[in-house]
């Protein structure tokens, strides 16, 4: 592939240069040339710095040497970095799996100091009245609190992201309704799943999920209708053209039309069903992990995990769809597909292990 002269340097290997720069950074950060200064740090501080340095070295290696994916925008190195982050997350989850519940909760304090405190039970279905006449401030307090809950924005953005990745409206509605059924199934285990009927059906499915799917499918149709004939940065005639071309580097180089075809045959139906099961497991793990590890909904770790899963899911969906459409008799799933399933399994095992004897102590709420 021929690169534009202005940006060709971004695609040249810089492994030796990065190695030398990284070695200098390690010398500076570790105090290798100043042992007395390094000895002034406490053991806990040294361990934390060492762990973060270990992760940084591994991510640097992945960015430079990990196998490239089928995605090339904004840069192949970016997706190699995401691959490294996925491996780090999988390894961290595996470490957490081998701890007991109390030690795991204490370990989370190293990631966020305000964790390690038991969360109050919050139920959305304790009072399902639309009109509360005895409330002096707001007669529609239940509707107001539900509309301005942090999960409303999460629902819309989440379903927009799913629509952009999956690109099949029927499959999206199966996932949307399926997750609400999962909430109904596990409402006796998690207070967060105990929702009012109008919250689950009207607000979640018919408003938030619908709007996210609608906006996502409009985004899909926009990119699907574009003509992808890219002109290099150096050939842009104006400054504004160069700016637009630079920003377009963060858009797809081409737009694939996914053909899921779940009713093409029994095997394809099972393969598409497996995709739906993994999607819903990832969603459910979000709530069960928060409950087991005492992580409040507004903690940044929840957002970081969702962003990481979104970045992992983008190449995963592309790899899985390519796997389904490949006609070779012997096929191999991509690295991101393997990592996604592995992470999902370990998250589920953590929920099962740390949730043992906890979920069944929750009293089923009436109504």
Number of residues written out for the chain: 367
Q: 349, 344, 345, 324: which is closest to 334 by C-alpha? A: 324
What would the pLDDT profile of 127-182 be if each residue is shown by its tens digit?
Answer: 777 777 787 777 777 777 777 777 788 889 999 999 989 989 999 999 999 999 99
For residues 105 and 155, give the distance between their C-alpha atoms in angstroms, rounded to a whole number: 27
- Residue-level pLDDT, tens digit, the chain, 367 residues: 566 656 665 667 778 888 999 899 988 888 887 777 767 777 888 888 889 999 999 999 999 888 888 787 778 889 999 999 999 999 999 999 999 999 999 999 988 888 888 877 666 666 777 777 787 777 777 777 777 777 788 889 999 999 989 989 999 999 999 999 998 888 888 887 888 888 888 888 888 999 999 999 998 888 775 544 555 555 556 666 556 655 565 566 566 667 788 888 899 999 999 999 999 999 999 999 999 999 988 899 999 999 999 999 999 998 998 888 877 766 788 899 999 999 999 999 999 999 887 765 554 444 4
For residues 333 and 325, give the distance between their C-alpha atoms in angstroms, rounded to a whole number: 12
How far, in Å, are 51, 64, 88, 341 from residue 55 at the CA level? Answer: 6, 14, 7, 22
Predicted structure pTM score: 0.84
For residues 270 and 18, give the distance between their C-alpha atoms in angstroms, rounded to a whole number: 45
- What pLDDT is stored for residue 317 in this prediction? 92
Q: Which helix (H) or strand (E) holds 247?
A: helix 239-247
- What pLDDT is stored for residue 40 in this prediction? 73
Q: Which helix (H) or strand (E) holds 212?
A: helix 210-224
Task: Yes or no: say if 262 and 171 are a contact pair by the CB < 8 Å rule.
Answer: yes
Q: What is the DSSP string of 269-335?
A: HHHHHHHHHHHHHHHHHHHHHHHHHT--TTSHHHHHHHHHHHHHHHHHHHHHHHHHH---SS----H
- What pLDDT is stored for residue 153 in this prediction? 85
Q: 78, 50, 53: which is closest to 64 by C-alpha? A: 78
What would the pLDDT profile of 244-294 be if each residue is shown by its tens digit?
Answer: 655 565 566 566 667 788 888 899 999 999 999 999 999 999 999 999 999
Q: What angle do CA 114, 118, 120 make, to 5 degrees?
A: 110
For residues 21 and 17, give the distance between their C-alpha atoms in angstroms, rounded to a whole number: 6
Task: Yes or no: say if 317 and 166 are a contact pair by the CB < 8 Å rule.
Answer: yes
Tell me which DSSP letter residue 226 carries. S
- What pLDDT is stored for residue 367 in this prediction? 44
């Amino acid at each position: 592939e021929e690169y534009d002269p202005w940006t060709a340097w971004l695609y040249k290997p810089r492994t030796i240069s990065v190695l030398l720069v990284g070695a200098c950074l390690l010398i500076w950060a570790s105090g290798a040339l100043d042992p007395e200064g390094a000895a002034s740090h406490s053991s806990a501080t040294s361990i934390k710095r060492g762990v973060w340095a270990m992760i940084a070295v591994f991510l640097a290696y992945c960015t430079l040497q990990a196998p490239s994916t089928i995605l090339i925008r904004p840069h192949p190195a970016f997706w190699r970095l995401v691959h490294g982050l996925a491996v780090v997350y999988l390894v961290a989850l595996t470490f957490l799996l081998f701890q007991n519940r109390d030690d795991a909760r204490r370990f989370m304090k190293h990631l966020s100091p305000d964790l390690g405190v038991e969360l109050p039970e919050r139920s959305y279905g304790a009072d399902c009245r639309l009109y509360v006449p005895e409330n002096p401030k707001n007669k529609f307090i239940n509707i107001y609190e539900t509309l301005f809950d942090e999960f409303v924005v999460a629902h819309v953005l989440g379903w927009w992201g799913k629509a952009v990745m999956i690109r099949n409206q029927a499959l999206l509605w199966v996932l949307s309704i399926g997750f609400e059924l999962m909430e109904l199934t596990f409402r006796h285990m998690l207070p967060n799943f105990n929702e009012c009927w109008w919250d689950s059906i009207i607000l979640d499915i018919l408003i938030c999920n619908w709007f996210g799917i609608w906006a996502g499918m409009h985004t899909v149709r926009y990119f699907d209708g574009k003509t992808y004939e890219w002109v290099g940065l150096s050939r842009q005639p104006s400054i504004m053209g160069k700016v637009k071309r630079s920003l377009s580097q963060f858009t797809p180089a081409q737009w694939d039309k996914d053909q899921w075809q779940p009713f093409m045959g029994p095997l394809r139906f099972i393969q598409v069903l497996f995709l739906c099961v993994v999607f819903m497991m990832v969603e459910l793990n979000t709530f069960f992990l928060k409950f087991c590890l005492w992580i409040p909904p507004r903690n940044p770790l929840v957002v970081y995990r969702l962003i990481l899963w979104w970045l992992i899911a983008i190449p995963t969906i592309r790899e899985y769809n390519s796997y389904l459409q490949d006609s070779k008799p012997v096929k191999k799933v991509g690295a991101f597909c393997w990592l996604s399933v592995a992470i999902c399994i370990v998250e589920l095992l953590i929920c099962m292990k740390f949730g043992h004897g906890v979920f069944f102590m929750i009293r089923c709420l009436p109504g």
